[in-house]
């Protein structure tokens, strides 16, 4: 391409694309140049692997669970997100704030040793999020709120702004905050400039089930723990899987 035409094309790109889109276009152009410069199969293979990793959409499923109900839901959400092609889904848990003595007195099960604890700054690496927590008096559990409170540096830089996020939860009983917990949690997303992704009624007939007790709403998937003995039902797990897939697909669309 002649220099004059190239300059004109570059100015046109700069004027019509957002900074984010322009950056992605430049990245893809650079990757093409690097591919053309490869002289052996080894270099080409490494570059292709690197390019595929950069092209994937990262979705973080981040949860806190005391008695295991949210953890069960989180695994299903993660499974749903992982089912979407091009999605790199990672399951995380936030740090516990209660002492071992208190946890023993509450008969809390041992935390999953196959799920790493996330640090606040690691949120910046993801393209989309699905946050899960138990409800305490109509708001998210203090452990999850403490995690969000530690994201002040991310808030200052607004690095999470524009990134999609969904939420899921667990409450004790009817009237325990199934919708209120979602409404109060949205404030955390709003201050970061994140895009809240509710389910609406896209889950279909499962949203209108009246023959069994079912948690969740148009805000997201949910379950009831009751006295701790009740486990998430098959329908609740289906909605959790659907939410993981749904938010992952939207995250992928927004990134691309």
Q: Whole-model pTM?
A: 0.80
Q: How far apart are CA 198 and CA 226, in angstroms?
A: 25
- Domain coordinates in residue numbering, the chain: 3-51, 57-255
Q: How far apart are CA 47 and CA 167, in angstroms?
A: 36
Q: What is the pLDDT of residues 202-250, one digit of tens each?
A: 999 999 999 999 999 999 999 999 988 899 999 999 999 999 999 999 9
Task: Calculate the average pLDDT of the chain.
Answer: 87
How many residues comprise the chain?
A: 256
CB under 8 Å to 159, separation ≥6 — which residues?
124
- Answer whether 58's CB lies under 8 Å from 88's CB: yes
Burial 226-235 (b: 16+ CB within 10 A, else e): eeeebebbeb
Q: How far apart are CA 239 and CA 138, in angstroms?
A: 21
Please give the helix or strand (H or E) that residue 129 lies within, else none: strand 128-136
What is the token pair recorded at 155?
A: 């808030």
**For position 31, what pLDDT does the model report?**
53
Mean pLDDT confidence for 145-149? 98
What is the token pair recorded at 217?
A: 């709403």
Indicate the CATH number of 57-255 among 3.30.300.20, 3.30.70.260, 3.40.50.360, 3.40.50.300. Answer: 3.40.50.360
Q: What percent of the chain has pLDDT over 90?
A: 74
**For position 34, what pLDDT does the model report?**
54
């Amino acid at each position: 391409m002649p220099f004059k035409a190239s300059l004109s094309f570059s100015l046109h790109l700069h004027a019509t694309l957002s900074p984010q889109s322009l950056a992605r276009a430049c990245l893809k152009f650079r990757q093409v140049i690097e591919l053309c410069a490869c002289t052996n199969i080894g270099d080409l293979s490494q570059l292709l692997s690197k390019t595929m990793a950069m092209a994937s959409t990262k979705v973080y499923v981040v949860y806190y669970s005391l008695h295991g109900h949210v953890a069960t839901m989180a695994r299903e959400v993660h499974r749903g997100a992982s089912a979407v092609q091009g999605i790199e889904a990672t399951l995380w848990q936030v740090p516990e704030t209660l002492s071992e003595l208190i946890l023993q007195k509450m008969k809390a099960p041992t935390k999953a040793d196959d799920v790493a604890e996330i640090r606040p700054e690691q949120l910046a690496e993801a393209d989309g999020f699905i946050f899960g927590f138990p409800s305490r008096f109509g708001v998210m559990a203090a452990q999850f709120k403490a995690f969000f409170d530690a994201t002040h540096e991310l808030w200052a830089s607004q690095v999470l702004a524009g990134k999609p996020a969904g939420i899921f939860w667990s409450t004790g009983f009817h009237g325990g905050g199934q919708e209120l917990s979602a409404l109060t949690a949205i404030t955390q997303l709003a201050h970061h400039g994140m895009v809240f992704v509710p389910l609406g009624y896209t889950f279909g007939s499962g949203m209108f089930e009246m023959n069994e007790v079912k948690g969740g709403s148009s805000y997201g998937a949910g379950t009831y723990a009751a006295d701790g003995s009740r486990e998430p039902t098959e329908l609740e797990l289906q909605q959790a899987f659907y939410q993981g897939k749904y938010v992952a697909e939207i995250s992928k669309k927004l990134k691309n």
